[in-house]
């Protein structure tokens, strides 16, 4: 069970990039719609989910 929670170095890098990109896009969209806090959080969550999906796709592609 614990093995499923541990990320590899590449997955950690993808996660960090996903969070950074999601938060960046969230700040820009939030500035446009006058709700920076909401879109900052939404972008961060979207970045996390997107990067984990991307990591699982890459894992399945390599196997």
Q: What is the span of the domain harbouring residue 39?
A: 8-62
Average of per-residue pLDDT across 36-63: 92
The pTM of the full predicted model, rounded to 2 decimals, is 0.84
Would you say residue 3 lies in a domain? no
**Does 42 or 11 have the greater pLDDT score?**
42
The count of structural domains within the chain is: 1
Would you say residue 24 lies in a domain? yes
Q: For residue 15, give the nearest of 43, 50, 41 by alpha carbon.
A: 50
Is the pLDDT at 33 greater than 90? The verdict is yes
Is the pLDDT at 2 greater than 70? The verdict is no
User: What is the pLDDT confidence band of residue 42, given thresholds at 50, 70 and 90?
Assistant: very high
């Amino acid at each position: 069970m614990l093995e499923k929670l541990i990320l590899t170095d590449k997955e950690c890098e993808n996660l960090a990039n996903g969070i950074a990109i999601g938060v960046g896009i969230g700040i820009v969209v939030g500035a446009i719609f006058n709700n920076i806090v909401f879109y900052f959080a939404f972008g961060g969550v979207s970045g996390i989910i997107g990067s984990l999906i991307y990591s699982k796709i890459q894992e399945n592609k390599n196997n």
